[in-house]
């Protein structure tokens, strides 16, 4: 009986010493994706613009990563947003042009 108790305690100590955290290379990245309509990459100070001011975005860019090479699925906003939200090409989703809004005043 004492033998089983000692083995049980030994196994308990071994299991409690094991790391439960994943190694750094297996952790999922922490990503903040900011999408602003009608904002080009050259419109932000983080990418060299000296006219516009965006101090909070500048701080995020300094403390993280910036995209310097990208691909737009379509040159207008609606298909690009659909591609981002679904992970598919705009033609696959069936949205290949902008989606018009409501006509005022109706």
pLDDT tens-digit series, residues 20-65? 566 666 777 787 777 777 777 788 898 888 999 989 989 988 888 7
pLDDT for the residue 53 = 92
In whole angstroms, give the CA distance from residue 31 to residue 16: 32
Domain boundaries, the chain: 28-69, 71-100
In whole angstroms, give the CA distance from residue 54 to residue 47: 11
Q: How confident is the model at residue 7 (pLDDT cuts 50, 70, 90)?
A: low
Residue 64 zone, left/alpha/beta (φ > 0; ψ -120 to 50; rest):
beta
Going from the C-alpha of 23 to that of each of 7, 32, 65, 69, the distances in angstroms are: 29, 22, 21, 29
Q: How confident is the model at residue 3 (pLDDT cuts 50, 70, 90)?
A: low
Q: Does pLDDT of 83 surpass 60? A: yes
CB neighbours of residue 83 within 10 Å: 20
pLDDT for the residue 69 = 81
- Of all residues in the chain, the percent with pLDDT exceeding 70 is 75
pLDDT for the residue 20 = 59
């Amino acid at each position: 009986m004492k033998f089983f108790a000692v083995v049980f305690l030994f196994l308990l100590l071994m299991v409690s010493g094991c790391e439960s955290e994943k190694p750094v290379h297996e952790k999922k990245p922490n990503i903040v994706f900011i999408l602003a309509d009608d904002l080009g990459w050259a419109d932000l100070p983080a990418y060299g613009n000296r006219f516009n001011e965006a101090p909070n975005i500048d701080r995020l860019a300094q403390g993280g990563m910036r995209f310097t090479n990208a691909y737009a699925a379509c040159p207008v906003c609606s298909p690009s947003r659909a591609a981002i939200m679904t992970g598919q090409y705009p033609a696959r989703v069936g949205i290949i042009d902008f989606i018009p809004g409501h006509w005022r005043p109706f």
